[in-house]
Amino acid sequence: MAAQHTRSPAGRLSGVSGWSGRAMVAVVLAVFVVFFAVPIVWLLLATTKSARGLSTGNPFTPGGAGDLSANAEQLFGFQDGAVVTWMSHSAMYALGALVVTLVASIPAGYALALTPFRARRLLLVLTLIVMLIPNTALVLPIFLELNAVGLIGSPLSVILPMSFFPFGVYLTYLYFSTSMPRDLLAAARIDGCREIQVFTRIALPLATPIVALVAFFSFVQNWNNFFLPFVMLPSSDGYPMQVGLTSLLASTPAFNPSSAGSQSVQLPALALATVVSVLPVLVVFLVSQRFLVAGMTAGGTKE
Amino acid sequence: MTVVDETAVPVAVATARPAGRRANVMGYGFVAVYALLMLVFGLLPVLYAGYLGFTDDTGRFAGLANFTRVAGDFRFWPAVSHVALYLLVWLVALVVLVTALAIVVHAIRIRWLGGALRLVFYLPGALAGASSVLLWLFVLDPTASPVRPLLRLLGFDSFVQVVVPGNLPVVFAVIAFWTGAGGWIVIMYGALNNIGAEVIEAARVDGASVVQIAWRIQLPMLRRWISYMCVMSLAAGTQLFVEPQLLAQASNAVVPNDYSLNQLAYQYAFQQNDFNGAAAISLLLLVVALALSAVFVTRGGLFEKG
């Protein structure tokens, strides 16, 4: 940003001094807005077009409702409604893992922050270390392990590994160790609350925001997970939507010429599949934008 | 890891003292489920992969045989170089662009505009995994792309021309940047907010220009965050899988299905039924990821107080 070295009279684009500096910044920002936004806008429009319209027409004019419903028909007719099955699997895996994650990580974060016990430090350090291992790094080792005990192919082989969510524990730990009024907990104990009651009656209601935050992160991450279910589920009967997309891709003649046939999928239907596959996450993102952003920032800071 | 031990555990405990032994037992009760998951899906897999990596298919100790076999595979070093090249392109783009964009967006004083920009940058994060790759298959396919003229201008007339292996590091970097950069921009933005207004004001009074403020004050104060971003991205990037996997499928093998290390490990396990070899590759990837994490924890200083 080559602004001149004159002092800015507190402009609206604060600080970027001078007219030409501001113009440059505006251009750079515009380029990036186009880069980030155009693919999404185009994708939404593509679902309303016919295969012909997609390749010949102006990319940014919408098609028609007729084409949209034709695309939907083609997509949901694919392999007798496989898409619906995959979506329901996605929901089952993501929500199942979400529940286990919450049951496991909220009490754990609470105990790590507020109760002294011997293995506490070890667990905390391990949490920090595993939190930094990329998700995918453990997928093949987990496959090898689950293969040894014969669990491959069962929904549990996806749900349980997803449920291990050290980042959620870390967030909860941060929250409880920084913003939980300890006097309140002590008072409850003096009043005769058992430890479990202190947790369920006092700590948990106060921690609603962090519970929601962990739930959002866990849901989004699980919904989008590809490698884990791809490896754990050998047959398409158990696929979630993300993995199901590969079956659709394999049946799209534009990307796989050998697939032309009665079960083939045209590009606009594939675009629709992409939209459908992210719809729940997109909704979650839009509804809880501020909230997620605050959490992401908190997850990085130490406080 | 003693460094973490000392620094990462700042506040807790000291003030809370529920009756000793009982609390101890409760503590274990509260962490039980999580500890179990950690054991089964964090520690045991690593140990089991370690066991497989150092034994042969009859379970006998094999020394480094699996590792040398894997490293001697003609596909191994190309895969290493593919991943390394991709990481290089991606990291440079990430550091330069994310930092610059965060500083610029932070400088915007019009509230709704700043907020809208962050949302636009952040939203693609909703499309992760296979969905984002699929979207970019469209964008990169000249027959359907919204940026057809641009692709033609660059001399690409068909999808296969776009995804020749030489272009892939850039292609994957673009996909990863599109999906992930927004989240980091938001994090950097938050970090910039934490820089005291009086520091910036003082610099301005002393006659520093915006560029000087960005370079001399904001950038150094973002350093910790940039190193955090680098190491997380570096560690995650070593695990490249879904992008080349889908591209291999969509390009009719113009992109090989053993392009990345994780794909190669997958091939070992599922095409060759060589779990020992797969375990060896996984271990190598894990060691790299862990080593990078260790660098981050000890050098990045993110868990230090203050």
More confident residue, B215 or A12: B215
Q: Does the pLDDT of residue A140 top 70, yes or no?
A: yes
Q: Does the pLDDT of residue B186 top 80, yes or no?
A: yes
ipTM of this model? 0.86
* Minimum-distance CB partner of B285 among A125, A137, A147: A137
Taking the CB of residue B169, how many other CB atoms lie within 10 A of it?
19
Q: Does the pLDDT of residue A98 top 70, yes or no?
A: yes
Q: Does the pLDDT of residue B301 top 60, yes or no?
A: no
* Location of structure tokens 């994090």: B187
Chain B residues 49-108 with CB within 8 Å of chain A: 49, 52, 97, 100-101, 104-105, 107-108
pLDDT at position B66: 94
Among A49-58, A205-214, B9-18, B293-302, name the one with the lowest average pLDDT: B9-18
pLDDT at position A263: 75
Distance from CA of A209 to the nearest CA of B (A): 19
The token duo for A96 is 């199942």
pTM for the full model? 0.86
| Chain B residues close to A105, C-beta within 8 Å | 34
Taking the CB of residue B77, how many other CB atoms lie within 10 A of it?
11
- Exposure class string for A199-212: b at 16+ Cβ within 10 A, else e: beebbeeebeebbe
B183 at A interface, C-beta within 8 A: yes
- Grouping H, G, I as helix, E, B as strand and the rest as coil, residue B270 is helix
From CA A62, how far away is CA A42, in angstroms rounded? 9
| Chain A residues close to B212, C-beta within 8 Å | 5
Which of the four pLDDT bands, split at 50, 70 and 90, describes residue B4?
Answer: very low
Q: Does the pLDDT of residue A259 top 70, yes or no?
A: yes
CB contact under 8 A, A138 and B183: no
User: Chains A, B: CB contacts under 8 A, how many?
Assistant: 380
- Residue A188's alpha-carbon distances to A121, A183, A209, B12, in angstroms, are 26, 8, 21, 18
A57-93 pLDDT, tens digit each: 888 888 889 999 999 999 999 999 999 999 999 999 9
More confident residue, B1 or B261: B261
pLDDT at position A134: 82
CB B86 within 8 A of CB B238: no
Topology of the domain comprising A80-297: MetI-like fold (1.10.3720)
A14-57 pLDDT, tens digit each: 445 578 878 888 999 999 999 999 999 999 999 999 988 888 88
Which of the four pLDDT bands, split at 50, 70 and 90, describes residue A298?
Answer: low
pLDDT at position B268: 94
CB contact under 8 A, A125 and B119: no
The token duo for B295 is 């660098």
Distance from CA of A303 to the nearest CA of B (A): 8
Which of the four pLDDT bands, split at 50, 70 and 90, describes residue B23?
Answer: low
Q: For a pLDDT cut of 90, what percent of chain A falls above it? A: 48
More confident residue, B170 or B306: B170
Would you give the distance in Å from CA B156 to the centre of its chain? Answer: 30
| Chain B residues close to A127, C-beta within 8 Å | 38
More confident residue, A19 or A198: A198
Distance from CA of A14 to the nearest CA of B (A): 6
Residue of A nearest to B37 (CA): A164
From CA A175, how far away is CA A206, in angstroms rounded? 10
Among B4-8, B29-33, B225-229, name the one with the lowest average pLDDT: B4-8
What is the four-CA torsion angle of B254, B234, B69, B61, rounded to 10 degrees?
-140
Q: Does the pLDDT of residue A6 top 80, yes or no?
A: no
Q: For a pLDDT cut of 90, what percent of chain B falls above it? A: 47
From CA A213, how far away is CA A169, in angstroms rounded? 11
The token duo for A290 is 């501020």
Q: Does the pLDDT of residue B165 top 80, yes or no?
A: yes
Sign of the alpha-carbon torsion through A9, A11, A17, A20: negative
* Minimum-distance CB partner of A124 among B9, B28, B286: B9
Per-chain mean pLDDT for chain B: 85
CA-based nearest residue to B168, from B232, B225, B89: B89
pLDDT at position A47: 93
A142-178 pLDDT, tens digit each: 999 999 899 999 999 999 999 999 999 998 998 898 8
CB contact under 8 A, B297 and A119: no
More confident residue, B269 or B252: B269
pLDDT at position B282: 92
From CA A241, how far away is CA A223, in angstroms rounded? 9
Average pLDDT of A205-210? 87
Which of the four pLDDT bands, split at 50, 70 and 90, describes residue B226?
Answer: confident
Please, which residues bridge with residue B55 across strands? B61
Per-chain mean pLDDT for chain A: 86
Dmax (CA) of chain B: 74
CB B262 within 8 A of CB A136: yes
Average pLDDT of B161-173? 92
CB B125 within 8 A of CB B141: no
- Grouping H, G, I as helix, E, B as strand and the rest as coil, residue B61 is strand
Backbone angles phi, psi at B163, to 5 degrees: -100, 25
Q: Does the pLDDT of residue A250 top 50, yes or no?
A: yes
B222 at A interface, C-beta within 8 A: no
More confident residue, A258 or A87: A87
CB contact under 8 A, B123 and A285: yes
Q: Is A190 exposed, middle or buried (0-12, 13-18, 19+ CB in 10 A)?
A: exposed
- For chain A, give every residue range classified as CATH 1.10.3720.10: 80-297
